[in-house]
């Protein structure tokens, strides 16, 4: 997870109706996140040849006042996956902006950090590196980072807690309405990342508006240990 400060006005066009930007220390953030889906099921059914695959997404953070209080969520600007059927399903069911590109990953983590998802299932010391790559316009783009030391629980109020604990997703629909869906997972432990880099044609892939933010070094970066995740059926929010 590589995290960048961005001008709030840039995100206005992407913010679904009924939500508002959720900021950290009064800063609007976008994140580039690379990970593996493993043993994936759609409504309880495993789709042959589509259970394990990579994803890289660009996302930002919003919140919505509901009857039970503030719901803090994520909005995806673009999501890259390697299989057309996944793109079709995500666009069809959620109107998410998925694109299909050739992808590959490299996970080289030491003891205490087992798992092909680029994250450890076991707490403890780890060293090594993680990278996710995608082929775009004839060139390999990538997100990568190295880790060293032990994974730890994120501190309340920390940037790591802010990034990893948005348990709702919001998607603008074709008629300008908003779909809200719940994302459930346990708290993830994190390693601070070193030598975190994004190598990407930002202007062509994400738009000129993100060049200034994503061309520099991230303000923070870390690797999370991951877990089982449940994504629930979406419902339209009242406007």
Q: pLDDT tens across 165-204, in order?
A: 999 999 999 899 999 999 888 888 888 888 899 999 999 9
Whole-angstrom Cα distance, residue 119 to residue 224? 6
Residue 7 lies in a domain: yes
Average pLDDT over residues 56-85: 95
Domain hosting residue 53, numbered range: 2-102+155-186+201-224
pTM of the model: 0.87
Residue 132 lies in a domain: no
Residue 172 lies in a domain: yes
End-to-end CA distance of the chain: 32
Residue 109 lies in a domain: no
- Residue 112: helix, strand or coil by DSSP? coil
Residue 129 lies in a domain: no
Q: How many domains does the chain have?
A: 1
User: Which stretch, 64-78, 97-111, 118-132, has highest mean pLDDT?
Assistant: 64-78
Residue 239 lies in a domain: no
Average pLDDT over residues 141-158: 89
Residue 29 lies in a domain: yes
Whole-angstrom Cα distance, residue 24 to residue 158? 9
Whole-angstrom Cα distance, residue 170 to residue 182? 9
Residue 66 lies in a domain: yes
């Amino acid at each position: 997870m590589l995290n960048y400060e961005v001008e709030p006005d840039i995100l206005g066009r992407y913010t679904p109706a009924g939500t508002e930007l959720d900021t950290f220390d009064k800063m609007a953030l976008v994140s580039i996140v690379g990970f593996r889906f493993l043993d994936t099921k759609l409504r309880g059914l495993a789709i042959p040849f589509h259970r394990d695959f990579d994803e890289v997404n660009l996302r930002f953070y919003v919140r919505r006042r509901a009857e039970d209080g503030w719901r803090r969520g994520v909005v995806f600007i673009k999501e890259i996956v390697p299989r057309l059927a996944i793109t079709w399903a995500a666009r069809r069911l959620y109107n998410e902006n998925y694109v299909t590109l050739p992808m590959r990953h490299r996970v080289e983590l030491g003891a205490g950090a087992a798992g092909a998802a680029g994250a450890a299932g076991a707490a403890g010391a780890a060293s090594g590196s993680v990278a996710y790559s995608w082929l775009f316009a004839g060139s390999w783009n990538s997100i990568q980072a190295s880790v060293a030391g032990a994974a730890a629980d994120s501190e309340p109020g920390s940037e790591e807690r802010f990034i990893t604990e948005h348990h709702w997703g919001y998607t603008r629909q074709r008629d300008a309405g908003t779909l809200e869906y719940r994302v459930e997972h346990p708290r993830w432990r994190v390693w601070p990342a070193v030598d975190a880099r994004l190598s990407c044609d930002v202007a062509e892939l994400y738009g000129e508006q993100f060049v200034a933010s994503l061309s520099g070094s991230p303000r923070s970066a870390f690797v999370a240990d991951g877990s089982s995740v449940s994504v629930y059926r979406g419902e339209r929010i009242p406007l």
